[in-house]
Amino acid sequence: MQRTSFLFTILLPLLLIGLLFSYPVSSKPKTTTLFAKTPEGFIKAKIKNETFEELACYIAIDGFKKKFRLSGNMESKWVAATDKRFAYTSFSTWCDYIEFYPQYKKYKLG
């Protein structure tokens, strides 16, 4: 009898509070990274924004980082590697909501 009382008075409220506060923390914008090859054989990448919000983004490869803004439901320009030894795993991409990174407002779209 005491065990069920403990479960309902202590553990259940703690579990519900934990779920309430942990859910919103993991929200990120939905994006897709696309890869292709140029006619010369270099790998290239671009990001597709699948939300209706403006995003702050970058595509990086080998120390070069291209920063830009991405409007809702838009694709970025292609960013190509400069060496044929690079693969799609050599690229690093990132996007988040522009309101969290106002310094990205100075960059061009796409």
Answer yes or no: is 17 within a domain: no
Answer yes or no: is 12 within a domain: no
Q: What is the span of the domain harbouring residue 34?
A: 27-106
Q: What is the CATH number of the domain that holds 51?
A: 2.60.40
Answer yes or no: is 31 within a domain: yes
Give Cβ neighbours of residue 2 (< 8 Å, ≥ 6 apart): none
Please say whether the beta carbons of 104 and 71 come within 8 A. no
Answer yes or no: is 14 within a domain: no
Question: Rounded to two decimals, what is the model's pTM?
Answer: 0.74
Answer yes or no: is 18 within a domain: no
The tally of domains found in the chain comes to 1
pLDDT digits (tens, 9 = 90+) for 2-58: 666 655 667 667 776 766 665 555 578 999 999 999 999 999 999 999 999 999 999
Answer yes or no: is 49 within a domain: yes
